[in-house]
Structures are given as structure tokens and as C-alpha cells.
Structure 1
Amino acid sequence: METLTASSSWQLLHQEMQRRWPVTPDELDAIVRYALLPAGKMIRPIMTLHCAAAVGGDPEPVLPAALALEYVHVATLVHDDIIDNDDVRRGRASVPAAYGVPNAIIAGDQLIFDAFAAITGSQHAGLPAGGVVAAVSALAEAGAALCRGQSLESRLAGDLSVGVEPYLEVARLKTGALFRAACQVGAALGGADPATIGALADYGEQLGIAFQIRDDLLSYTEQPDLIGKSTTSDLSNGRATLPVLLAWAASSPDGRTALTGALRDGAASQAAVTLVADAVRATTALERSYALADEYAGRAHRQLAVLAPSASTDVLAAVPGWATARRW
């Protein structure tokens, strides 16, 4: 395989996705294809491929396993849209809005099982059995973390007094865990030693937290039509994102009361949306959020010191910049 770049790896993944999920009259397969395609940024599987290449492995046989990370990611989006009652995803009707909640639940579950099948199938491509077992274990651990993150997020809903640490723990569990697994899977299947796998796992986790912070800033920095999903979902579901937590901490007692009321509004009324946006912009919440995202991105970048210079190492070094860019 020729040296991969970020764009060529996306194309390779996209082509493989289309090959594995052709247009079909089968209803379940059609729903899964709708969830997967057109594909998103595919940052996680791109990282899987480049972690494999950066440790000296051949990324080509890792391709199905890399797609497994996208399957799990998309499954979580489908299930999140059910939990949050969101009708828009990637600029069109979400899976539950398009096909109904029962079908969306089944499609999300199907994607999770397909992910494990894709990784275990890597052994048939000549990848070492030990690496395949390690990759399956990493994905299973990430799945458990995702569930715990969702549970914690639900328990924290509506409470702005909890502070930043619980928010960061949710980000670590819900987002950092799958980024971590993406790197572990790639490094394990690429034949890396345990120390290198550990360093790349930490790289992924720190990067995932930075990515989540940046994602939570989009409601205040981007136009809704550029985001491709609801900009009021967090508010309508009572989720205290980092900029709102920081704005609450910097507000007067009356301001805190107003923000808490807006978070518990339940409908994300225009008045509530405006109140929260004004509070966030009236404080240093945005800049402090950007600074924390940059901090976690820096932590991620430092973990790459274990890698030898290569084109794939360069791609991995560039990802923190994508995750924390002020504009997409």
C-alpha cells in the first residue's frame, strides 16, 4: 500500500464502507447504510489506520477493524438521538426520525455486533491472534465506558453546581474511551509493544476529551446549518456543557438562578437559548474552554514521542489541531 495521507485514508475507508454496505432491499441493512453513509469525518478509523502504520504495521489488513470504530461511533450517535429525541443528524433526518425508534435501536445494536465481527475477522487477513484479542478487549472496554458515561451524564442533568471535573469524566468516558480504543486497536494490530500501545491509548483518550470540549463549543461558534445537528439538544436535555458550567461559576447569584432555570426549561425555548448564549459570551467561558481543549490536545501530542518519524506519525500529530480548531 502506498504511503497514506489523511485524505487518502478517508477515501480508502469510504470505498471499503461502500463495498461492505451496498444498496440493498434488505430493510435492516438499508437502515444501517443510511446511518453510515454519507460518511462523516471518520477521525477514529483514520487514527486506527495511522496508529497501525506508525508502529510499523501494514494498514491494509487493518482496514476492516478500523471501520469497526466507525460502526461503534455511529451506533452511539443513533442511540444518542433516541435518548435525546433529536430529529437531525449530519444535516438530514436522524435514524430514529427517518425509520422509527424500534428500528433505530436494532440498527444501533447491529452496528455494535458488526464491529466485533470486523475485528475478529482481521485474523483471516493474517494479523496476529494476540493482537486481535487485544483489539477486541480494547473495544469491549470502550463500550463499557461509553455506557457508564451516558449513565453519569444522565445523573448530572440539570445540575450546574457540580463543577468541571464531572463534566471531564463524562467526556473521558463518552468520547475519550472510543478515541483511546481506536488507537489501541491500530497499535495492537500493527504489532506494537505494550508500552507503545499504552502511550497511544493515552494519546487517544486525551485527544477525545479535547474533541468533546470543542464539539460542545460549536453551539456558540458555528451556524446551525454548518454543524449538521441540533444546536439546542444539550440545553433541551439539561446537559451542562463546559462553557455553560464556566459561565455559571462566573455569574452572580441571580445569573446562576437564571441559568439553572434555562437548563431545566426542558424545551430549549428561544428565551432560554438566548439567555444561556448571552451568559456564555458575557464571561470568559469560551476562551477558558478553548484553553482547556488546547491543554488536552497538548497532552495528547506529547504521547507521540514514542513513535519514530513517519508520514503516519505526522498525521497523528496533526489530529489534535483538527480537534481543537476554532473553525471546522
Structure 2
Amino acid sequence: MSVQVREGAPSGEAELAGLIADSQELTGLVDEVRSRLAGRWAGEPSLLARMCAHAHTPPGKLFRAILLIESALAVGGDPRWALPAAVGAESGHVASLVHDDIIDGDDTRRGRPAVHTAFGVGDAIVAGDALIFDLFAGLAECRAAGASADRVVAALAVVSRCGIDLCRGQSLETELHGSGRFDHETYLNMVRLKTAALFRAACECGALLAGGDPRQVRALGRYAEHLGVAFQIRDDLLPYTSSAAEVGKPDTSDVRNGRLTLPVIIAHRASGAADRAVIEAALSGIGDPATARADLSDVLHRTGAVTATAGWARRYLRFALAALHALPVTASRARLAGYAEAAVGRDR
């Protein structure tokens, strides 16, 4: 069955918000997730509570929480059984951002000081750890919300496996950087582990907790994995297609950290000796990061790497859309397709 990718769709956050607004039920559920997150650490006058609240502020797009709720709806189950897990999914995602910012040395997140910038590295690590445990607390709360004990245990297994995959991906990224090899296969494997893991966890958990059958859970897992890869490929382009103000974090992070992202790998493979030297110098960590980013951006555009990378993102978008055909035809399935298109078309 052929899958059509819509051209000229609204970009990113605006389309995501529009899709949510189409469903009164979904709008109410997402609002409840926001409310629960806002109150999660409120009223506790501790350093840990202040750090966790800071990490959640301003709230992000709640994309993984939305995917979890939508997956519950897509299998015809009661999404309220999975609502605490949706809250936990956002905590798990934010935990990964706290730790990423420390690893990458990025001082801002969502347009404000990162947690380690505001509170120090040691305490920020503790805050990130607490948010990971909050993810598991959310899963446990699903039993009281109506999910059966066996399905809560199955969801716990999914999240544990995906969390370890995320760590494998982070470690593989370090190996790829250290190797100096511009290898797109290793890159794609790293992305499947590091970025797609939390997408898989969200979608499979939503389906499991709401009573989905094994075929539906597998379909949503495939959708999530391809979506996660497409999402990260698009993310790799943002430093060269959007401003730091639009993205909410430094546009020099990838250059400062010598990160071998897909556009860089494609450009290096397509370049002659002179441009390869520019790429390698830009990623060396020597000199002004802003100048290095500008030099690298010029090569990426001239070699067609930006366009080629966008093509890879659309390829994985098609895979994600194809996986949805195993699900019943519902408004939720249509919105899941729309979320994938929005993720590939986003500018932040």
C-alpha cells in the first residue's frame, strides 16, 4: 500500500496544536497532563523540588505524553488508565534533557538557563535521576487509574528496555565521535537507540496500558521507532536552518561537541579534499564555535547535504505512516500520522 506524505503542511508546533485542538477529549487529557506536571513538585520547599520544577518550566510540547495518550486511544482503550504514565513520560524526557545538557555543555534549554547552569552540575545530575524515578512512579500509578497489574508490569518492562537502549545510544554516540568515522549506518543505529527509544516507550506503553493486542502494540512500536529516527534527523538540521532563539538552545552545540550528525556525514562523503578539511576543522573544537558553525553550514548547503538529509527524514516518515495501517481507521490514527508529518516539518 502506498503512503502519501502531505506537502505544504503547516510547520511544527502550530500543526501539533491544531491536531490536538481537533479533539475535545484529547485537549482535556493534555490539559490534565499539564496540570499534573505543574503540581508534581509544587508545595515542596526543597532544592530538589525547585530543580525539578525548573526543568519542567516552561513546559515543552509534551510530544511523548501526547503520543502515549494517542496510542491508548488508537487501540480503542480508556486513555485515563494510561494518564499517569503520560505524566511520567514527560518527566523521563525532561530527565534526558537535563543529563544531555550536562554532557554537551549547553547552558540554555527552552530559552532559559539549563538546570546545571542554574543549580550546578552535581545537583542537576540528582534532579535528572529524580525525574527518571518519577517516570517509574507514573507507571506504578496506572494500576490505581484502572490498568490491570499484568499490563502495568508489561509497560514497566518496555520502559526499562527502552531506557537501557537510550543509554546504549548515548554511549554509541561517544564511540562514533571518538572513531572519527563518517559512517551513516552507525549513526542510524545510534539514533534508533538514543532518540527513538523514548518514542517507542511512549507508544507501546499507551497501547499496552489501554488494552491493546500484541499486533497493535508492535505496530505502534514500529511507528514510534521510525518517527523517532525522522525526528532526530530533522533535529540535526535545525542548527543550520533555524536560529538559536527559535530552537531554544545554542546552535553551536553540535559543532562544539564535534557531533557527527547526518548532514555532516553526508557532506563529508560528498565532498572533495578541501571541503572535507573545512568540515574536520569545524568539528575539531579549535577556534570560535560561531565561525565554525557558519563555515560548516556553508559546506552543508553547497554540497546538497541539507536537502539530502531532509530526504532521509521524509523516508523514515513514510515508514512511520506505513506502520499505522495495522491499526483501525480512527481519528487517533489520523492524528498520529499528522504528528509524524509535523515532527518532520518543524522548525524548532
Instruction: State if a TM-score over 0.5 links the two structures.
Output: yes
Q: 2:219–2:327: 8 Å Cα contact kept in structure 1? A: no
Alignment identity in percent? Answer: 43
- 2:133: which partner in 1? 113
Post-superposition Cα deviations, 1:104-160, rounded to whole Å, max 9, x if no partner, equal 000000011111111012111221112101111111011101111111101111655
> Residue 292 of structure 2 is aligned with which of 246, 249, 272?
272
Per-residue CA deviations over 1:41-80 (Å, capped at 9, x if unaligned) read: 1111100001001101111231110111111111110001
Relative to structure 1, is the Cα distance of residues 60 and 300 closer, same or farther in structure 2, using a 3 angstrom cutoff? Answer: same
Distance 1:251 1:23, change over 3 A: farther
Q: Helix, strand or coil: the match of 2:299?
A: helix
Report the 3-state secondary structure (helix = DSSP H, G, I; strand = E; otherwise coil) of the residue aligned with 2:345.
coil
Q: What amino acid is the match of 2:218?
A: G
Q: 5 Å matches for 1:114-153? A: 114-153=134-173
- CA contact under 8 A between 1:238 and 1:266: conserved in structure 2? no
Q: Structure 2 unaligned segments of length 5 or more: list them.
A: 1-21
Matched-pair contact (CA < 8 Å) for 2:182–2:268: no
Partner residue, 1:76 = 96
CA contact (8 A) 2:247 2:347 kept: no
CA distance in 2, matches of 1:201, 1:236: 33
How far residue 90 of structure 1 moved from its aligned partner, in angstroms, is 0.4
Measured in 2, the distance between the counterparts of 1:259 and 1:292 equals: 21
What TM-score do the two structures reach when normalised by structure 1? 0.95
Query: Is residue 47 of structure 2 the alignment partner of residue 31 of structure 1?
Result: no
Distance 1:154 1:218 in 2: 21
1:287 counterpart residue number = 307
Change (3 A) 1:317 1:305: same
Give the aligned residue type for 2:251.
T
Asked if 1:219 is matched to 2:242, the reply is no
- Deviates further, 303-312 or 154-163: 154-163
Deviation at 1:306, TM superposition (A): 1.8
Question: Could you tell me which residue of structure 2 aligns to residue 52 of structure 1?
Answer: 72
Shift of 1:30: 1.3
Partner of 1:248: 268
The one-letter amino acid of 2:135's match is A
Note if 1:21 corresponds to 2:41.
yes
1-structure distance, mates of 2:152, 2:23: 24
2:60 to 21, 24, 40: 40
TM-score normalised by L of structure 2: 0.90
Pick from 313, 319, 326: which aligns with 2:339?
319
What are the within-5 Å matches in structure 2 for residues 91-102 of structure 1? 91-102=111-122
| Structure 2 residue aligned with 1:261 | 281
Partner of 1:176: 196
Ranges in structure 1 where 5+ consecutive residues have no aligned partner:
none
Please tell me the residue identity of whatever aligns with 1:59.
Answer: P
| Cα drift, residue 304 of structure 1 | 0.9
- Kindly indicate whether the alpha-carbon contact (under 8 Å) linking 2:200 and 2:224 is maintained by their aligned counterparts in 1: yes
Quote the residue 1:200 is aligned against.
Answer: 220
Moved over 6 A (4+): none
Give the AA of the match of 1:97: T
Moved more, 311-320 or 90-99: 311-320
- Alpha carbon RMSD of aligned pairs, Å? 1.7
Contact 1:138–1:184 (8 Å) recurs in 2: yes
Aligned residues: 327
Q: Structure 1's 267 and 74: CA in aligned 2 closer, same or farther, altered over 3 A?
A: farther
**Cα offset for 1:173?**
0.8
How has the CA–CA distance of structure 1 residues 51 and 268 changed in structure 2, closer, same or farther, with 3 Å as cutoff?
Answer: farther
